Structure 1
Amino acid sequence: METSLNYTKVSALMGLYRIKVKSGMSENFFDQLLMLVHDMLPENNVLPKSTDEMKKFLKVFGFGYDLIHACKNDCILFRKEYEDLVSCPRCKGSRWERDKHTGEEKKGIPAKVLRYFPIKDRFKRMYRSKRLAEELRWHFTNATEDGTMRHPVDSLTWLQVNDKWPEFAAEARNLRLGLSTDGMNPFSIQNTKYSTWPILLVNYNMAPTKCMKAENMMLTMLIPGPTAPSNNINVYLQPLIDDLKDLWSEGMEIYDAFLKERFTLKAMLLWSITDLHKDWLLSTL
């Protein structure tokens, strides 16, 4: 039987997973699709037979996310010094879900879960692409000279950063980011009050026609509902802020496919983009 050389294992999985996401296919139906395609392929093929298997494989390449248990009252995340606790040290609420009918505690099933998509591996992947590595240098030579602001590179904030941290500014590959967040109802049902909060990073190194495209914005976390995190949003932002602090102070060594060299990448959070009445919640970042 002839086999196709158009797909590697990774590209095939990414193509199939893209179909699942774009179509809104459930995991149950996607599992059935994977089994069908697996049976169509030659014997001993390496296509996973389930969504879980696919996720485990892709996580090796940094495509996965971390599940972090959270206090049901948004007090803490069960990480670092709280990692092994079974109840919140502040409100004393159980870490585990309770049965709505019996009130029985379901040990091992968290009451609330934050999904964090680690940013460091994703930054490494960006610079492994020759095209992206080149595009991420756009800001360095494209500031306007007529005083018109066409991109954040023309802003006063950008110039202040250059003046205050010249070593950071001298490296064109260092990233300048914006943080954006707002609540949304993932179920698209107007009469259902449920608020999930996506946290996005916008990359301003790219040209204005590219930095605001959906494929170049990074979903970094999903803060769970059913209610908004309110003034406890800083609790959920901790994993992201820890990585951003590390990228600012220490940086990380990565490979630049465009210049074919290794360098130390650093990143800076320039500002946040939120509703006006939520701005003060992010002022402590």
Structure 2
Amino acid sequence: MGANHNASTLEERRDNDFTQSLEDAKTPLYPGCAKNTKMSAIVALYKHKVMNGWTNNSFDGLLEMLGDMLPEHNVILKSVYSVRKFINEFDLGYDKIHACENDCCLFRKEIKNLQSCPKCGSWRWKVDERMKKIRKGVPAKVLRYFPIIPRFRRMFKSPKMAEELQWQFKHKSEDGKMRHPVDSIAWDLVNYKWPAFVEDPRNLRLGLAVDGFNPFSNMSTTYSCWPVMLVTYNLPPWLCMKKENITLALIPGPKQPSKDIDVYLQPLIEDLQELWNNGVTVYDSYTNSCFNLRAILMWTINDFLAYGNLSGCTTKGKK
């Protein structure tokens, strides 16, 4: 009982901190500015930095110049560090996890500090092919993982979104027609097999979509990135497939992970297992209460080749 109370208190404190940060983000860029807020200006500038490959030093210089040019009492931030810190308060960042260039492992947990792969022995860092020199500090391959638990917590911090996340509980079809996954046989099967999970309509039902694509739109190159997208089906049909409600992890190229995709899915699988087995304490701003959020992965969405990689089964060839 004491542990639950402490967790609820901590979550409420986090929610208060988030509310204050949100109010700060809505501050006009300078007194009387009607077009841009602190958040919109910072996101637009940071996006421009990333899209054009600006260095941190050049971006710091730009922010300082803007601070001097804008009217007094403007709220523009003055450095890349402060911009990233500000964005991270809203859980908008991602985890960069170093990976073996041969897809053997992720350098995390007990092997976080190793300099080479414990399985194949390849260096963690890039190696200059011409000079054969190890470039320490420059990883050979990086997984960019957007943690799902902080994002689910953030969804419930919006009263409107927290209400929408219970849409499926009241909108099951009564005429036998399927308009949403809530009307499917798979949904009813979950209700039948795990009635305790169904008791709280806020518990999440998820779908996982995986496939590769060529980011350079050039069929002459074999470079392939693999986005892993998680869809939340508690939301109504006009919201659940919108890009802002889909969470993402990005498996890097240049070659597809094939049967080693499970290596890159480890962080996501661990989060999903935590959400299914134990749940996490979340503050629901719609009901002004804390609850234990759980989630279930109902299905995967992929073509036959990706299905073979995900399942570890053979889906092509003679046998």
Q: Give the TM-score normalised by structure 2.
A: 0.80
Q: Which residue of 2 aligns with 1:162?
A: 191
Aligned pairs for 1:205-244 within 5 A: 205-219=234-248, 221-244=249-272
Residues 226 and 54 (structure 1 numbering): CA distance in 2 closer, same or farther, change over 3 Å? same
Unpaired stretches in structure 2, ≥5 consecutive residues? 1-29, 313-319
The structure 2 residue matched to 1:25, chosen from 51, 56, 67, is 51
CA contact (8 A) 1:69 1:110 kept: yes
Residue 188 (1) aligns with residue 217 (2): yes
Q: Which residue of 1 aligns with 2:227?
A: 198
Q: What amino acid is aligned across from residue 91 of structure 2 in structure 1? A: G
Compute the displacement of 1:37 (Å). 3.2
Compute the displacement of 1:85 (Å). 1.1
Give the length in aligned residue pairs: 279
Residues 210 and 222 (structure 1 numbering): CA distance in 2 closer, same or farther, change over 3 Å? same
Cα deviation 1:27-69 (Å, max 9, x = unaligned): 4299376455333234575423454542233123311111101
Measure the CA separation in 1 of the matches of 2:185 and 2:42.
44
Q: What amino acid is aligned across from residue 271 of structure 1 in structure 2? A: W
The structure 1 residue matched to 2:307, chosen from 266, 276, 279, is 279
Aligned pairs for 1:43-192 within 5 A: 45-192=74-221
Aligned partner of residue 128 in structure 1, secondary structure: coil
Residue 247 (1) aligns with residue 265 (2): no
Residues 170 and 62 (structure 1 numbering): CA distance in 2 closer, same or farther, change over 3 Å? same
Unpaired stretches in structure 1, ≥5 consecutive residues? none
Q: Which residue of 1 aligns with 2:317?
A: none
CA RMSD of aligned residues (A): 2.3
Residues 16 and 262 (structure 1 numbering): CA distance in 2 closer, same or farther, change over 3 Å? farther
Measure the CA separation in 2 of the matches of 1:34 and 1:25.
17
Q: Which residue of 2 aligns with 1:40?
A: 69
Q: What amino acid is aligned across from residue 171 of structure 2 in structure 1? A: N
Once the two structures are overlaid, the 10-residue window that deviates more, 233-242 or 51-60, is 51-60
Q: Which residue of 1 aligns with 2:18?
A: none
Measure the CA separation in 2 of the matches of 1:132 and 1:121.
15
% identical aligned pairs: 52
Q: Give the TM-score normalised by structure 1.
A: 0.89
Cα deviation 1:242-268 (Å, max 9, x = unaligned): 111101111111111111211111111
The list of structure 1 runs, each at least 4 consecutive aligned residues, that deviate by more than 3 angstroms after superposition, is 4-12, 14-17, 32-37, 42-46, 49-53
